[in-house]
C-alpha cells in the first residue's frame, strides 16, 4: 500500500508543536509494522531546490517541497482556490493593505502554494491513501480533486480553529477546515470527544468520522526511565529553586498562549489553595512561547529566581500577565517557572548560569527529566482534543488531573488520573489535594497510569488503528 502523509511541521524549520511528533512517530510505526506499506511524508521547506528527499527507512521517505513564492506567482492560485471551494483570500489582501501581521500574510500564501505544489507531486506519485494533517495542509484536497487524483483522501483533525481560539476562529481557517472535512472520503480525529465537535461544527455525517488516539514511545516514557532520571533531576530542581525535602512537586508543561485554553491561570489560582492546605507542595511550570529558546543573558540572578519563581526575564505581555497572577496569589517562592519551551540549549544556559555541577541525564530531552522529578501533573486545559503530555506523564507513572469534557478526561478514564471541572480553580485544587494527601489513591493512580498508556496509547497501537481505518476506506467503492 502506498501512503502519502501531508505534514506542515515535518521540516525542522517548521516544527512548532505536537503535530510534528504525531506525523513523525505514526509514519515510523507504519513503516516498521507493515512491510507492504510504502510511506512518504511530504512537507514544505524554504530551501533553494524545488524538491529534496530523505530516505528514513527502507519503506519511509521524507519529501520537502519549496513552497515560497513571490506575490505575483500566487494570484492565479488564489483565484483557482476560490473557484474550487468558494474560499476567498480576502484575508490576505486585507492584512497586506493594512500592513499588519506580515508573518500571517506570508504563511497564508505559503499554505496555498504548498497545497498546489504538493498536489502536483502526489499526482505523479499516485498513492492509495492521501493522509492530510491539519488545516495548513488541507488545500491539497481541492487541488487534488481538480487534478483527477484517484487516491482515497483522509483528513486528520487534530484540533479545530474554533477550539484553539476559544470560540473566536479566523474565518478563512474555519472554512478551510470545513471544506476539507467535506472533500475527504473519511475524517480521522484524536478522541471520541472530538467526534461530536466535528459533526456539529462542520455538518458532516457521524459515520464519516473515525477515532485514532495519539500515542507515545513507551521506550522513552516508562517507570524504569522515571526511576533512573528522578534522583538527578529532583536534585537539580530543588537546588535551583532553593527547596529542601520533603516536598511534593506538581508539574505543568504547556505552550504559553493568548487564549488560556491550557488553563495556566486557573492552575496558578489553584496552586495557592493547594499550598495553603499542603504547605510542603511546590509547583514546577514549563510554559513559554513556542519556538523560543532563551540564552544565558536573559536569565535572572539566583536571588530573583528563588523569590519570584521565574527563571528567565519576563519579556512579553503574556508572561507579565501570568507573573502578575503568581504575585497576586502569593505563590512566589513556591513555584519554579521555566518561562520558555525548555530544550537542550535553554537547559545548557541554565546549568552554565547557575554553575550547577551535578549530573543531568537526558539533557537532549529535558521534558523527561521534568516528568521524573515531579510527583503528579495538572493539565487543566479547557480545550484539549488529545494531550500527548498527559500520556507521557502517565507513561512515567505520574497521576494526572485534567478537565472534564476534554481529550485528557477521555485518556484518564482508562486509569491514571481524575478530572476536575473546567475553569474552576476550587475543583482543580480539591482534586490535587485528594491525590497529594491519599497515599493509597496515589499509588493506585500511578500504577494504572503506566499500564493504561502501555495498553492504549503507544504509536504502534495508533498505527494499527489507522490501518483499520485505511482498510475500511479502501473497501468502499
What pLDDT digit, counting tens, does each position of 127-154 carry? Answer: 999 999 999 999 999 999 999 999 999 9
Q: Is the four-CA dihedral 95, 96, 100, 103 of positive or negative sign?
A: positive
Q: State the burial class of residue 369 (Cβ atoms within 10 Å of its Cβ: 0-12, 13-18, 19+).
A: buried
Residues 383, 259 within the same domain: yes
| 147 shares a domain with 243 | no
Closest residue by Cα to residue 218 from 26, 457, 470: 457
- C-alpha grid cell, residue 127: 498513492
**What is the pLDDT confidence band of residue 355, given thresholds at 50, 70 and 90?**
very high
Q: Is the dihedral of CA 145, 147, 148, 151 positive or negative?
A: negative
pLDDT in tens, 424-469: 999 999 999 999 999 999 999 999 999 999 999 999 999 999 999 9
Same domain, 181 and 145: yes
User: 108 and 194 share a domain?
Assistant: yes
pLDDT of residue 236: 98
CA distance 187 to 183: 10
Cα distances from 76 to residues 66, 113, 135, 163, 296, in angstroms, run 18, 10, 21, 32, 47
Domain that holds residue 373: 223-456
pLDDT above 90: residue 68: no
Confidence of residue 50 (pLDDT cuts 50, 70, 90): confident
What is d(CA 321, CA 287) in angstroms, rounded to the nearest whole number? 13
Q: What is the DSSP string of 225-237?
A: HHHHHHHHHHHHH
User: Of 76-90, 287-301, 362-376, where does mean pLDDT reach its minimum?
Assistant: 76-90
Q: Are 348 and 128 in contact (CB under 8 A)?
A: no
The span from the CA of 389 to the CA of 407, in Å, is 12
Q: Is the pLDDT of residue 98 over 50?
A: no
Residue 136, phi then psi, degrees to nearest 5: -60, -25
pLDDT over 70 percentage in the chain: 93
Do 266 and 294 fall within a single domain? yes
pLDDT of residue 476: 87
Per-residue pLDDT at 371 exceeds 60: yes
Give the pLDDT confidence of 199-245 residue by residue, as tens digits: 999 999 999 999 999 999 999 999 999 999 999 999 999 999 999 99
Whether residue 228 sits in one domain with residue 196: no
Q: How far is CA 86 from the centre of its chain?
A: 30
Identify the residue whose cell numbers are 504547556: 254
- Domain shared by 126 and 253, yes or no: no
Mean pLDDT, the chain, integer: 92
- The pLDDT score that the predictor gives to residue 296 is 75
**What is the residue-wise DSSP string for 104-166?**
HHHHHHHHHHHHHHHHHHHHHH--SEEEEESGGGTTHHHHHHHHT--SEEEEEES--HHHHTT
Residue 188, φ and ψ in degrees, nearest 5: -110, 140
Cα-based torsion angle of the residue sequence 3, 203, 191, 150 in order, rounded to the nearest 10 degrees: -10
Q: What's the average model confidence in pLDDT over 98-111?
A: 66
| Backbone conformation region of residue 101, classed left if phi is above 0, alpha if psi is from -120 to 50, else beta | left
Backbone angles phi, psi at 78, to 5 degrees: -65, -40
Does residue 360 carry a pLDDT above 50? yes
Q: What is the mean pLDDT of residues 258-275?
A: 94
User: Residue 239: beta bridge partners?
Assistant: none
Laid out side by side, the sheet with 60-66 consists of: 51-57, 60-66, 38-45, 2-6, 129-133, 152-157, 186-189, 209-211
The number of distinct structural domains making up the chain is: 2
26 in the same domain as 14: yes
Same domain, 195 and 123: yes
> Where residue 253 sits, what CATH number does that domain have?
3.40.50.2000
pLDDT band at 384 (very low <50, low <70, confident <90, very high): very high
Averaging pLDDT over each range in 8-22, 118-132, 287-301, 309-323, which range is the top one?
A: 118-132
| Farthest-apart Cα atoms in the chain, separation | 68
Q: Grid coordinates standing for 286?
A: 514549563
Could you tell me if 178 and 302 lie in one domain?
A: no
- What distance in Å separates the CA atoms of residue 298 and residue 313, rounded to the nearest whole number? 6
Residues 64 and 204 in one domain: yes
Position 72 pLDDT exceeds 70: no
Same-domain pairing of 345 and 375: yes
* More confident site: 256 or 180: 180
Amino acid at each position: 500500500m502506498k501512503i502519502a502523509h501531508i505534514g506542515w511541521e515535518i521540516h525542522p524549520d517548521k516544527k512548532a508543536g505536537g503535530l510534528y511528533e504525531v506525523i513523525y512517530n505514526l509514519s515510523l510505526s507504519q513503516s516498521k509494522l507493515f512491510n507492504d506499506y510504502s510511506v512518504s511524508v511530504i512537507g514544505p521547506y524554504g530551501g533553494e531546490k524545488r524538491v529534496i528527499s530523505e530516505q528514513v527507512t527502507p519503506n519511509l521517505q521524507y519529501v520537502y517541497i519549496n513552497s515560497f513564492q513571490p506575490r505575483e506567482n500566487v494570484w492565479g492560485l488564489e483565484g483557482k482556490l476560490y473557484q474550487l471551494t468558494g474560499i476567498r483570500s480576502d484575508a490576505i489582501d486585507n492584512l497586506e493593505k493594512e500592513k499588519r501581521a506580515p508573518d500571517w500574510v506570508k504563511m497564508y500564501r505559503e499554505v496555498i502554494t504548498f497545497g498546489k505544489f504538493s498536489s502536483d507531486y502526489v499526482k505523479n506519485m499516485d498513492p492509495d491513501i492521501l493522509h492530510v494533517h491539519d488545516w495548513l495542509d488541507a488545500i491539497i484536497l481541492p487541488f487534488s480533486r481538480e487534478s483527477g487524483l484517484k487516491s482515497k483522501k483522509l483528513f486528520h483533525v487534530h484540533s479545530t480553529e474554533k477550539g484553539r481560539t476559544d470560540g473566536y476562529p479566523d474565518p478563512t481557517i474555519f472554512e478551510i477546515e470545513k471544506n476539507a472535512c467535506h472533500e475527504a472520503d473519511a475524517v480521522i480525529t484524536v478522541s471520541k470527544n472530538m467526534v461530536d465537535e466535528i459533526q456539529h461544527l462542520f455538518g458532516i455525517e457521524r459515520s464519516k468520522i473515525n477515532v485514532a488516539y495519539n500515542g507515545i514511545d513507551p521506550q522513552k516514557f516508562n517507570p524504569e526511565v522515571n526511576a533512573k532520571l528522578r534522583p538527578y533531576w529532583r536534585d537539580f530542581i530543588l537546588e535551583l529553586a532553593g527547596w529542601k525535602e520533603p516536598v511534593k512537586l506538581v508539574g505543568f508543561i504547556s505552550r504559553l498562549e493568548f487564549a488560556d485554553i491550557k488553563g495556566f491561570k486557573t492552575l496558578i489560582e489553584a496552586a495557592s489553595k493547594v499550598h495553603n492546605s499542603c504547605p510542603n507542595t511546590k509547583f514546577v511550570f514549563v510554559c513559554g512561547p513556542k519556538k523560543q529558546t532563551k540564552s544565558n543573558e536573559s536569565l535572572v540572578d539566583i536571588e530573583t529566581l528563588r523569590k519570584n519563581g521565574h527563571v528567565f526575564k519576563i519579556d512579553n505581555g503574556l508572561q507579565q500577565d501570568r507573573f502578575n497572577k503568581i504575585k497576586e496569589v502569593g505563590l512566589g517562592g513556591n513555584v519554579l517557572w521555566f518561562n520558555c519551551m525548555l530544550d537542550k540549549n535553554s537547559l545548557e544556559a541554565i546549568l552554565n548560569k547557575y554553575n550547577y555541577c551535578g549530573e543531568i541525564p537526558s539533557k537532549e530531552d529535558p521534558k523527561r527529566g521534568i516528568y521524573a522529578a515531579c510527583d503528579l501533573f495538572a493539565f487543566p486545559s479547557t480545550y484539549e482534543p488529545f494531550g500527548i503530555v498527559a500520556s507521557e506523564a502517565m507513561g512515567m507513572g505520574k497521576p494526572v488531573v485534567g478537565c472534564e469534557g476534554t481529550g485528557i478526561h477521555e485518556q484518564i478514564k482508562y486509569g491514571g488520573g481524575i478530572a476536575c471541572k473546567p475553569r474552576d480553580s476550587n475543583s482543580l485544587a480539591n482534586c490535587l489535594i485528594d491525590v497529594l494527601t491519599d497515599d493509597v489513591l496515589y499509588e493506585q493512580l500511578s500504577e494504572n497510569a503506566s499500564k493504561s498508556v502501555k495498553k492504549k496509547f503507544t504509536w504502534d497501537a495508533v498505527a494499527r488503528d489507522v490501518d483499520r481505518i485505511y482498510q475500511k476506506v479502501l473497501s468502499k467503492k
